[in-house]
Structures are given as C-alpha cells and as structure tokens.
C-alpha cells in the first residue's frame, strides 16, 4: 500500500439546510450541512475515488463560509463541527453583511436550489489497489481507492452548480412563510392545488396565488398608479438593467470565448424582466462555475480524459472503437482531432488543464511534471467541486496502452480456451485438486437420517501461477519526435508477445504427453484405428475407447467428449467430416448417412505441429471433454484475470519520459487423463 503526499484540495458536495433568522433581526439565519458520510467519492484530478479518514481529520482555525469559493464574497462561518468517526456534520450562521450573504438567503427563500461545497486539505495519502479493500470510517471499501489518512477541514462554500446534481440546499424560510400565512389563503391554495405541499412553494408562487385569491374573494384593492409611482417603476427598471449588465460584464471577463452565448442570455434576461439575482444564477446553471480555477474556453472544457483517449485510439487505429467509447465521445474526438493527435499536443492539453500557463511548443521538464502530477498545480488552482475533469498523462496513457495491449492479446490464438479447465487462484502458492474418484456418489439416507461421509481420491494434480512480463518506456526521444506509436504500436506488440508467451507455456505442457496418453491409462488409439480422424472407422474406434473409460470405482464416466482437436493439415478434412450429411465411398449395402455430423467442435493449432515443442506431431489428434473439474488441462489465473495488464508510471523525477510494464500471472498443468483420447495417427 503506497503512501504519498498531496497538496490538492478534496471537495465534498453535500445537502444544506438554512434556518431563517428572526423577524426582529436578533437571531441570524443558520445552516446545517451533513458534509460527509464516510464513503468513496469521485474527486476532480484524482485518478481514483477518494476516502477521507475521519479519524485523522482536524479542524482549521477558522472555518468560513463564502459564495462560489470567492474569499471576498463572505456569507458566514461554521460554529460547530460534529465528527463521530463515521460521518461529518457542520453547523454555522449567516453572519456576514453584504451582497453575497443577502443573495444566498434571498434566493433560498424563493426556492433556489443552492448546493454546498466542503474543502478538505489532505495530508498523508494511502493507495489501495484493485482486488484489495480497506476498513475506514466504519465501512469496508474495495479498491482501487485513495485514502486521505490525515487532513484539515479548510472551508465551506455555497455553489450554484456542482459536480453532483443531487445535492440540494433547502431553506427553512419557505416553511416559515407557510407558518405565517393567512389561513384563508392557505385553505384557498390547498383547495386549488391539492397535490402540492404549501411549504414547498416559492415566494413568487405564493405572491401570484395571493393575487388570485384576493381577486376571487374581492379583497384586492384597485390602486391607480400615480405620477411618482410611474417614475419609481422606471428607475427600478433602469437599475435592473444596469445590474444585469454588471453581471454580464463579470461573466464576459471570466469567459471571453463565450461572448455570443452570454449575449443571447443577456438579451433574454432584459426582455423577460428577469431579476439580476435570477440572471446570475441562470448564468452559473448554464455553465460549469469557475470557483478559483483559471479561465477555460468551451473547447478546453470538452477535453475530457475519455475524449483524449478516444482521439489517441482513433489515430492508432484501434479496432472496435464503438465498444470502447460512446457515440458522443467519439464524435467529439473526431471533431476536435480529425487529423489525429500528437504526443506533444497531448502533453500541452493536459498540462494546461492542470494549470500550466506556458506557451512552449516543445515538452519541457516543467510541463512534464505538471502533466504527470509530479508537482502540485500552480498557486490558485486548488481543486473544487466545480472544477474540471481529471486529466493526467499516466492515467491517459495507461488506459490507452491497456486497450492496445488487450487488442494484441486477443488477436493471437485462443484455442487453449476450448480445451482447458480455468480456475482462479489468490496467490502464487501451489494448489492441489483431486482426480475423479466416484467416492462422492450419493447414497440412500436411512430412517435415522444419517448421511455418510465421502472421501476424495489420493490421486491428485497441482496448479500454480507464475508471473510473465515485459517493460517498455515512452522516452524523451519519443516525445521530441512526437511519436504516438510509442503508446499504440508498442503496447499492441506487447499484447502479441503476451499471447505468444502464454501459448508457448500451454502447448509445451499439453504436447509433452507421452506418459499421459498411454495404453496404461486406456486413452490411446493406435494402429489402423489411430489414423487420421477424418475416417469414420478411426472416430468409431476412438469413441469406443472413450466409452470404455471408467471412474476408479468402476462406474462409467457418464459423459461424452465434445471436442475434436486435429493438427493443421487435417483441419479442413475434419470440418468436412463434421459438416457433411452423407458418407461417400463405402461399399456394400450400408447406410450412407453421416452420424458424426455436428458431433464435435473442431479445433486446430499450428503449435501442435511446431518442431520446437516436445511431442509435436503432424498426425496425432484428440477427442476431448471440457467441463469444470474434468478436462485434460488445468489453467490458473491470479485473481481470475485471464488477460495481461499494463501499468504506467512516470520516470525518475528528473527524467522526461514514462515507463510502462505489461505482465500476466498464470500457470498450466495436465489435469485428468480420462478426459481425452489420443489417436496416434499411425
């Protein structure tokens, strides 16, 4: 379990309840946040889900609440922190005076769904890899996951749109308006809208319903507009338009590349008589809020890790792209990188997303360090819930290399899958399985209800996994030469190499079988009946040998073979024998129907006739069974992973480059001699 330090902020999104202050102003509005329930969270720019260990969480000296993570937009402060080791709850008050505090409370009263963002600065980080688990915060959490063993609670912010749309701020002031509502008005609303809870209505909705109530009940008074009222309304409209333009200018400064969209929203706000507060909220809801992150264009916001991976895979001509990426991701990658993507371009995109502000065309060591997450982001680029998608060179290249590695692995021969029993092992220790014995056959249970114990055969076979692998590197030369093939072609070849390695181990074990297929084991057909499997008499003889096989207790096997494995020169003839409907060339008045049609699945492998393997042959063939626990071969994979994997890591801190390694944990062994019959071919 590796440990490392991180200076990046972990931001948690949570529900908030705000309780309105008293009408006389003697008590302040309060908020309460169930900040964290102890589980794993997806946090921007972290490669794996993150867990904050509440046992190691400390409080900052002064925990302030602001708006949109802007320190000059003060809202209030946290007064109580409740940490029971399983969950984290914060209580506080809206104690600040100013536009930000007024906006939070006013919009809450009108039903605006604020969200909350809690900041934690982590200390020691522990990594839990896939296949392992960790117990933290009273929960058992499976890997892969990063655990912040220590951390400091830094702050709290109200945000209008966060990474999790399910987090909502609810304001108790709305409930207060119901408590103080005219009973006649409340009865009118409940009769008019029986399916609506009055306490959930916004202030503007209640105002409109009150007008309907007053009009229908005759309580509305007609009040003609005086000259002074006319000018007041004109001044209010002027102030509204000016305030909307101030908000517009702020967003134009933050998003200069979105000027056309901001212009359309500005015009709509003016024409629809939208309030400045509602317009500001609409602007945030229509985009990803910035918090304290640097300015990003719309194009940069769409540069997700998946889009970049898809662009690299398209350039490297990975097959079955539609199975690896969704249509939207592929379309975005094609639109932005129609002419392909280069390694230098990838570095620049990722580095800029992580806060790099340089303009170098070449990949410098500083750019490499930021893109590979070797150093913290620049000052002022703290992670927020409203930040951008996680991008890192190791993560992107590792995922891409893994896809090409698997394509190479799957592109090689896979005949072994049809003729072996596959088991998962948890470590590299030798395992022992027992051969078929028949001593576990059920026996009738007597009147006393006693069930007798069975025994297993002392005749056993073993299996054990070993590790096979290779390393390669994306070097400084590859980066300078802009060689994308270093992360596409090399992993593909590594996949082919993994397939070659596995088949070499597998067929070395299978073909060295002179003591396995032997007359003493009653599983060998020789002489005229052992000739090529394309002749009907040979198949009949092999089946007869199979049928004569018994369990150690003398009982029949109770099963039939299903596979016909032949050397390459016999493959097409064997297919013909299994697919033909008639038998041609027999003499005498004998039936001509082919009773072997579709009897066996036919397989072949060039490894069977390769002279470098002990026991190779161009004429030997096999009738085989393959079911769990009953096969001529056993193959074990560590943790059930039946394909190789690739891992990435940056090179030494002072070196410009990346290291990758592909490896596979497996083992093969001959298993049950009764599960096959060999035709000697002579």
- The share of the chain scoring above pLDDT 70, in percent, equals 73
Distance CA 511, CA 498 (A): 20
- In the predicted structure, residue 385 carries a pLDDT above the cut 70: no
Distance CA 383, CA 394 (A): 19
pLDDT bracket for residue 229 (50, 70, 90) = low
Is residue 345 classed exposed, middle or buried when 0-12, 13-18 and 19+ CB atoms within 10 A define those classes? Answer: middle
Tell me, what's the pLDDT at 77?
A: 85
Distance CA 69, CA 313 (A): 37
Dump pLDDT digits (tens) for 522-581: 999 887 666 666 677 888 888 889 888 888 777 888 888 999 999 998 898 888 888 888
User: H helices then E strands: how many in the chain?
Assistant: 18, 30
Report the relative pairing of strands 421-425 and 10-14 from DSSP bridges: unpaired
- Mean pLDDT over 124-145 rounds to 83
Give the residue, 175 or 419, on which the prediction is more confident. Answer: 419
The angle subtended at Cα 28 by Cα 26 and Cα 29, nearest 5°, is 140
Distance CA 186, CA 193 (A): 10
Chain centroid offset of residue 536 CA: 53
Give the residue, 571 or 272, on which the prediction is more confident. Answer: 571
- In the predicted structure, residue 613 carries a pLDDT above the cut 90: yes
Residue 362 φ then ψ, to 5°: -85, 155
CA dihedral 189, 190, 193, 195 (to 10 degrees): 150
- In the predicted structure, residue 148 carries a pLDDT above the cut 60: yes
The pTM (predicted TM-score) of the whole model is: 0.54
Q: What is the three-class DSSP state of 558?
A: coil
Tell me, what's the pLDDT at 290?
A: 37
Distance CA 18, CA 22 (A): 13
- The radius of gyration of the chain's CA atoms, rounded to the nearest angstrom, is 36
Q: Which residues contact 80 (CB under 8 A, 6 or more apart)?
A: 90, 91, 92
- In the predicted structure, residue 654 carries a pLDDT above the cut 60: no
3-state helix, strand, coil in the chain (%, to 5): 35, 25, 40
Tell me, what's the pLDDT at 380?
A: 41
Half-sphere exposure of 382 (CA within 13 A, CB side): 18
Tell me, what's the pLDDT at 11?
A: 57
Report the relative pairing of strands 658-670 and 676-679 from DSSP bridges: unpaired
Cβ(49)–Cβ(38) below 8 Å: no
Q: Which residues contact 360 (CB under 8 A, 6 or more apart)?
A: 367
Residue 120 φ then ψ, to 5°: -125, 125
CA distances, 395 to each of 47, 459, 498 (Å): 7, 48, 22
* Closest to 346 in 3D by CA, of 365, 327, 372, 381: 372
pLDDT bracket for residue 621 (50, 70, 90) = very high
The chain-wide mean pLDDT, for the chain, equals 76
Cβ(262)–Cβ(248) below 8 Å: yes
Distance CA 270, CA 564 (A): 79
Distance CA 624, CA 516 (A): 13
Chain centroid offset of residue 430 CA: 33
Give the residue, 557 or 175, on which the prediction is more confident. Answer: 557
- Mean pLDDT over 148-165 rounds to 69
* Closest to 646 in 3D by CA, of 622, 628, 671, 664: 664
- In the predicted structure, residue 60 carries a pLDDT above the cut 60: yes
- Mean pLDDT over 467-490 rounds to 82
Tell me, what's the pLDDT at 291?
A: 36
pLDDT bracket for residue 623 (50, 70, 90) = very high
pLDDT bracket for residue 16 (50, 70, 90) = low
- In the predicted structure, residue 611 carries a pLDDT above the cut 90: yes
Determine the angle formed by the axes of helices 99-109 and 172-179, rounding to 10 degrees: 60
pLDDT bracket for residue 167 (50, 70, 90) = very low
Question: Mind listing the domains of the chain with CATH numbers?
Answer: 3-179 (no CATH), 183-215 (no CATH), 230-292 (no CATH), 298-391 (no CATH), 405-440+456-511+644-670 (3.30.2400.10), 519-632+672-679 (3.30.2320)
CA dihedral 89, 94, 99, 102 (to 10 degrees): 100
């Amino acid at each position: 379990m590796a440990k490392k330090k991180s200076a990046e902020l972990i931001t948690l999104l949570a529900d908030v309840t705000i309780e309105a202050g008293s009408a006389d102003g003697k008590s302040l509005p309060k908020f309460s946040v169930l900040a964290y329930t102890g589980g794993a969270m997806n946090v921007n720019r972290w490669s794996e889900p993150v867990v904050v260990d509440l046992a190691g969480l400390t409080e900052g000296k002064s925990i302030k609440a602001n708006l949109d993570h802007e320190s000059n937009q003060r809202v209030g402060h946290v007064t109580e922190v409740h940490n029971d080791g399983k969950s984290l709850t914060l209580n506080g008050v809206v104690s600040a005076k100013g536009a930000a505090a007024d906006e939070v409370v006013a919009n809450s009263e009108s039903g605006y769904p604020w969200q909350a963002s809690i900041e934690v600065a982590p200390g020691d980080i522990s990594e839990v890899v896939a296949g392992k688990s960790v117990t933290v915060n009273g929960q058992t959490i499976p890997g892969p996951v990063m655990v912040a063993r220590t951390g400091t609670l830094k702050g709290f912010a109200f945000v209008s749109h966060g990474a999790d749309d399910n987090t909502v701020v609810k304001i108790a002031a709305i409930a207060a308006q119901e408590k103080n509502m005219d009973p006649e008005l409340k009865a009118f609303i409940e009769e008019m809208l029986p399916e609506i809870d009055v306490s959930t209505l916004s202030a503007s909705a209640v105002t409109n319903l009150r007008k309907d109530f007053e009009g229908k009940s005759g309580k509305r008074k007609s009040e003609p507009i005086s000259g002074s009222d006319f000018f007041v309304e004109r001044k209010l409209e002027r102030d509204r338009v000016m305030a909307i333009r101030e908000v517009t200018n702020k967003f134009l400064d933050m998003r200069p590349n979105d000027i056309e969209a901001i212009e359309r929203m500005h015009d709509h706000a003016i024409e629809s008589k939208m309030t400045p507060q509602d317009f500001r909220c609409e602007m945030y809801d229509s985009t990803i809020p910035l918090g304290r992150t640097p300015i990003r264009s719309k194009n940069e916001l769409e540069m997700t890790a998946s889009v970049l991976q898809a662009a690299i895979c398209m350039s490297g001509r990975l097959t079955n792209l539609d199975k690896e990426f969704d249509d939207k991701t592929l379309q975005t990658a094609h639109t932005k990188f129609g002419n392909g993507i280069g390694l230098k371009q990838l570095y620049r995109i990722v580095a800029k997303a992580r806060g790099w502000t340089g303009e170098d065309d070449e990949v410098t060591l500083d750019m490499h360090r930021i893109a590979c997450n070797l150093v913290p982001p620049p000052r002022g680029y703290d992670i927020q819930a409203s930040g951008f998608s996680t991008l890192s060179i190791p993560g992107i290249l590792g995922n891409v290399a893994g896809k090409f590695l698997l394509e190479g692995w799957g592109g090689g021969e896979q005949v072994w899958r049809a003729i072996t029993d596959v088991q998962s092992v948890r470590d590299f220790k030798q395992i022992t399985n027992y051969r078929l014995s028949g001593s576990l056959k059920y026996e009738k249970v007597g009147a006393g209800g006693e069930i007798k114990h069975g025994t297993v055969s002392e005749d056993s076979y073993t299996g054990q996994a070993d590790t096979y692998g290779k390393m390669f590197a994306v070097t400084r030369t590859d980066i300078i030469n802009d060689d994308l093939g270093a992360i596409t072609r090399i992993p593909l070849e590594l996949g082919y190499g993994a397939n070659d390695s596995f088949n070499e181990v597998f067929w070395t074990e299978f073909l060295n079988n002179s003591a396995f297929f032997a007359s003493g084991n009653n599983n060998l057909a020789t002489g005229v009946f052992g000739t090529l499997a394309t002749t009907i008499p040979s198949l009949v003889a092999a089946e007869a040998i199979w049928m004569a096989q018994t369990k150690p207790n003398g009982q029949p096997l109770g099963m039939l073979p299903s596979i016909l494995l032949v050397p390459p020169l016999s493959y097409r003839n064997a297919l013909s024998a299994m697919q033909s409907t008639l038998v041609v060339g027999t003499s005498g008045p004998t039936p001509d129907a082919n009773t072997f049609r579709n009897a066996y699945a036919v397989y072949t492998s060039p490894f069977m006739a390769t002279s470098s393997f002990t026991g190779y042959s161009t004429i030997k063939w096999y009738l085989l069974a393959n079911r769990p626990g009953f096969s001529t071969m056993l193959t074990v994979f560590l943790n059930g992973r039946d394909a190789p994997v690739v891992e990435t890591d940056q090179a030494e801190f002072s070196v410009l480059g990346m290291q990758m390694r592909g490896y596979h944990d497996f083992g093969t062994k001959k298993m049950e001699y009764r599960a096959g019959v060999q035709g000697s071919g002579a």
